[in-house]
A and B are shown apart, each in its own frame.
Chain A
């Protein structure tokens, strides 16, 4: 039974931290906050971090990645920085702010004339102090930090994208980095095309949501954009070959909630002490405490009767499934029912997950092998302070092929494999993000950030310590 292991709690933001994201190419993690800064952290993976096989999680006792804060970008955003996103090249960072703008950041070229920057505050220092809480043993002298980003230079805002009338809520790059999308409380979704010379051209303004647009997510390899709104809908958009960018489907959740399906067989099959302890911690984290039950019963808070806000979206790595997180805390899975870019999606699952809003979802490869129907691991977090990692699988037939043809309504199983309550103490968890590297290293490493400004890095380990 896997577990979530805390591996670092780098220095906190002064105010709520809203988003974290690992750079896809460099050993960097970024976070942003109401304090109007972006913080950059360097990480280095232990040399033994390559998994035994592609999807295995490391052992809890193996060497841990090391994380350091290396840089704070003082932006000129005038309000909360709500979201950030790295371009696939890893060279460009986009930030979206409540001040309605999107800023594009690039690291200054290393022409040597920034020599004066060297040695200043924020430049990587091998002995940089890291605040680590609790039982995590953090050793800066770890000999495996060779991959860390030693050389983080100044980051400059190369352009600002204006146009939204009110708070920008999410920014996101398309899979190939050619397009950038942003969404806002002004109910619109904008698509920008990246031009040479740090320029951007607006190629679409989609205004069909009836309320603020909370989140958006690009398909992992096609130019399909999903957006989620306070109006309880998910819009699926694409660049119609016969016309302009348009919505090809509006999804509205309908399935009733089903209970969390906690797997039992795993612990029973190999009842080592570690497995039992891990299983117990999973169950404890997922189920309400007696105090919570009592409060639930006593308060009997009337449900919000309007349809729930869709807070979060995440595509499966294969691109056939989309997960959405709702205000009531449930997670829904949508499946594409065809092979065309605009093939319709159907809702295939709705599982109970969090006891309050599910603010964030992240889906990456890992866990069960693809051949065994593994669709990757999904992390979720939210206002109940929990982080939950789910193993998503789809049934496979004997010959290893997926049991269902893509045109039929596929089935998936959503099983929690690790969970932690009070991941950031009493604070809401606003964002989780998986480390995803081309070399497969660092699989199962997860960053999270919370309302108390804290940023934490976790990893999924194969067993309890």
Chain B
């Protein structure tokens, strides 16, 4: 039983044009300064944005699915030097936002992809860091795309396990590796 890359020849798709959310079009103030991504550690940058965003619940910034996609699209796949967008692991159509809730479906490249929990963790960490804390995030494997869909779903949504995972230095290192490119937000191919 040989341990190959889980998917050694994934289909890679061209990235879409950088997202232009409705809000950008209207010229409304951005939650985050895009340029900051290039200079700042995303963590810091996102925390700053978060603070502003949550001032005064009455006039909180609305966030749409495209923006959430924007946060996730450039995360690097743990196995391949390409973005989750290029692998179609995350798709704009599979992200839903309503009120304080976000739902993300992720589509593993192959049905037995063992990296699904890791990818899911990266998504969760990214959103945990980047979204204002009022958001409750649910992550689901897109139905029928993984042989252990339900088990993965359960693990990805157990916050205690997520917390413990983030205290595992080895794991965190890999997650940070995947997230290092997240700030590009689709502006250029990750590689």
A398 to chain B minimum Cβ distance, whole angstroms, is 48
Decide if A298 touches B96 in the complex (CB within 8 Å): yes
Contact of A230 with B158 at beta-carbon distance under 8 Å, contacts A299-B103, A383-B136 already known: yes
Return the CB mask of A66-107 against B: 1 if under 8 Å, else 0.
000000000000011010000000000000001000000000
Chain A contacts for B157, CB-based, 8 A? 304
- B136 adjacent to A356 (CB under 8 Å): yes
Identify which of residues 117-161 in chain B touch chain A, using a CB-to-CB cut-off of 8 Å.
132-134, 136, 138, 140, 143, 150-151, 153-154, 157-161
Q: Are B164 and A167 in contact (CB under 8 A)?
A: yes
Decide if B99 touches A301 in the complex (CB within 8 Å): no
Quote the shortest CB–CB distance from A350 to chain B (angstroms): 20
A255 is an interface residue with CB less than 8 A from chain B: no
- Verify B99–A383 contact, CB threshold 8 A: no
Q: Is the C-beta of B98 less than 8 angstroms from some C-beta in chain A? A: yes
Query: Measured between alpha carbons, how far is A230 from B160 in the docked complex, in Å?
Result: 11
Instruction: Find A34's partner among B98, B103, B153, B163 (CB 8 Å cutoff).
Output: B163
B167 CB–A CB distance under 8 Å: yes
Q: Are A306 and B140 in contact (CB under 8 A)?
A: no
Q: Determine the chain B residues whose CB is within 8 A of the CB of A257 once the complex forms.
A: none
Asked if A145 is at the interface (CB within 8 A of a chain B CB), the reply is no
Question: Are B167 and A80 interface neighbours, CB within 8 A?
Answer: yes
CB neighbours of A301 from chain B (8 A): 101, 103, 138, 140
B21 at the interface (CB under 8 A from A): no
The winner among B54, B96, B98, B100 for most chain A CB atoms within 10 A is B98
A306 CA to B124 CA, complexed, in Å? 20
Interface centre among A167, A294, A428 (most CB of B within 10 A): A167
Shortest beta-carbon distance from B8 to chain A in Å? 30
Bound complex: CA of A464 vs CA of B101, how far in Å? 31
How many Å lie between the Cα of A214 and that of B161 in the bound state? 10
A306 proximity list for chain B (CB < 8 A): 150-151, 153-154
Within the complex, the shortest CB–CB distance from A427 to chain B, in Å, comes to 7
Q: What is the minimal beta-carbon distance from A415 to any residue of chain B, in angstroms?
A: 27
Query: Whose C-beta in chain A lies nearest to the C-beta of B148?
Result: A306
Q: 1/0 per position for B166-183, CB-CB distance to A under 8 A?
A: 010000000000000000
Q: Distance (Å) between the CB of B49 and the closest chain A CB?
A: 16
In whole angstroms, how far apart are the Cα atoms of A304 and B151 in the complex? 9
Residues on B with beta carbons closer than 8 Å to the beta carbon of A235: none
Residue among A167, A291, A304, A383 facing the most chain B CB atoms (10 A cut-off): A304
Residues of B with C-beta under 8 A to A214: 160
Contact of A169 among B101, B140, B159, B160 (CB under 8 A): B160
Q: How close is A168's CB to chain B, nearest CB, in angstroms?
A: 11
Give, as a whole number of angstroms, the nearest-CB distance from B106 to chain A: 13
Chain A-chain B contacts (Cβ-Cβ < 8 Å), number? 69
Q: Which residues of A have CB within 8 Å of B138?
A: 299, 301
Q: Is the pair A295, B160 in contact by a Cβ cutoff of 8 Å?
A: no
Chain B residues touching A, range: 20 to 34
Beta-carbon nearest neighbor of B153 in chain A:
A304
Q: Indicate if A426 sits at the interface (CB-CB under 8 A).
A: yes
Q: Are A426 and B96 in contact (CB under 8 A)?
A: no
Q: Which residues of chain A in 283-308 are interfacial with respect to chain B, using CB atoms and an 8 Å cutoff?
A: 291-292, 294-295, 298-299, 301-302, 304-306
Contact of B154 among A295, A304, A383, A452 (CB under 8 A): A304
Question: In the complex, are the beta carbons of B167 and A295 less than 8 A apart?
Answer: no
A302 to B117: give the CA distance in the assembly, Å.
Answer: 18
Tell me the minimal C-beta distance from A360 to chain B in angstroms. Answer: 12
Q: Name B150's contact: one of A294, A304, A427 (CB within 8 Å).
A: A304
A452 to B50, CA, bound (A): 14
Q: Are A298 and B98 in contact (CB under 8 A)?
A: yes
Least Cβ–Cβ distance between A169 and chain B, in angstroms: 7
Partner of B158, one of A302, A309, A426: A309
A34: nearest chain-B partner, CB-CB = B163
Partner of B99, one of A169, A185, A230, A292: A292
Q: Are B98 and A309 in contact (CB-based, < 8 A)?
A: no
Name the CB-closest residue of B to A311: B160
Are B153 and A426 in contact, with the CB atoms below 8 A?
no
User: Would B103 and A80 count as touching, CB distance under 8 A?
Assistant: no
Report chain B residues within 8 Å CB of A16. 163
Indicate which residue in B99, B134, B153 contacts A305 across the interface (CB closer than 8 Å).
B153
Asked if A79 meets B154 with Cβ closer than 8 Å, knowing A291-B99, A292-B99, A295-B101, the reply is no
| B140 and A427 contacting across the interface, CB-CB below 8 Å | no
Contacting B163 at CB < 8 Å: which of A80, A299, A304? A80
Q: Is the CB of A426 within 8 A of B133?
A: yes
Residues B164 and A80 in contact, CB atoms below 8 Å apart: yes
Evaluate whether A427 and B133 lie within 8 angstroms (CB atoms) in the complex, with A230-B158, A302-B143 already known.
yes
Question: Chain B residues with Cβ under 8 A from A304's Cβ?
Answer: 150, 153-154, 157
Which B residues touch A79, using CB under 8 A? 164, 167
Query: In the complex, what's the smallest C-beta–C-beta distance from A213 to chain B, in angstroms?
Result: 11
In the assembly, what is the distance between CA of A214 and CA of B159, in Å? 12
8 smallest CB-CB distances across A and B, nearest first, come from: A295-B98, A295-B99, A426-B134, A298-B98, A305-B150, A291-B99, A79-B167, A306-B154
> Can you list 10 residue pairs at the A/B interface with Cβ under 8 Å?
A16-B163, A34-B163, A80-B167, A82-B160, A98-B167, A185-B164, A298-B96, A305-B150, A356-B136, A383-B159
Residues of B within 8 A of A (CB): 54, 96, 98-101, 103, 132-134, 136, 138, 140, 143, 150-151, 153-154, 157-161, 163-164, 167
